[in-house]
Structure 1
Amino acid sequence: MKQIIAAPLVAALLASPAFAEEEPSLMERGAQLFFEGLMQEMAPALDDMAELLEDAGPALQDFMAQMGPKLRTVLEEVEDWSAYDAPEVLPNGDIIIRRKPDAPEFTPKPEAPQIEL
């Protein structure tokens, strides 16, 4: 992961005209040292994040395969999410999402008339 970030950064720094013509200025050298230090500090966190994504990837794919269509249906049904409070887990394990008291009155869309064949 850090190679992905480091390669363009090093290429950009080396491609600058200052490196081609003369020694870098103090500002350029300071920026280079700053980014090198940043990459060194971030390397463990990026490695941990890559490992976490590798471990969680199959579980997330399975979750989305099972729940994706149902979540899509819910997202299509709800027009204004700001009219609802945060989800609440009840002691029996049920999850409810309450409408806010000051939310506008809900009026369901009329269903399309059924055609008898």
Structure 2
Amino acid sequence: MRHRLALVPLLALLLSASPVLAQDRGGADGESGMSEGLGLLGEGMQMFLKGLGDELEPRLRDFAETAKPALTRLMELIDDLDAYELPERLPNGDIIIRRKPDAPPLSEPEARPGAEIEI
């Protein structure tokens, strides 16, 4: 049992020295092992991201088709983003977005058939 415990520090010392032994001095063309490894890592990332994009593309297209009417309506209501100040939080926790004083006046919204107005 004592012999095995004595091997633990020796094994730790050998493992900590292994990166020094594993370093490559460079190939015949001057490219080091580090740059080759980074190149392989870059290729792997490209393959991963391409696969992820291929997998998510149909879902993102479905989401875009589903969200398109709501986003179109939102853009009709907002008009121009440059006409608004930055959001502001009030002491009671409400968040307001004020129109800039020099913004052009809003046009009256069109009445939608079947839409009710609650007062």
Q: TM-score, normalised by structure 2?
A: 0.40
Task: Give the structure with the higher percent helix.
Answer: 1
Which fold has the larger relative contact order, with Cα–Cα distance below 8 Å and residues 6 or more apart in sequence? 1
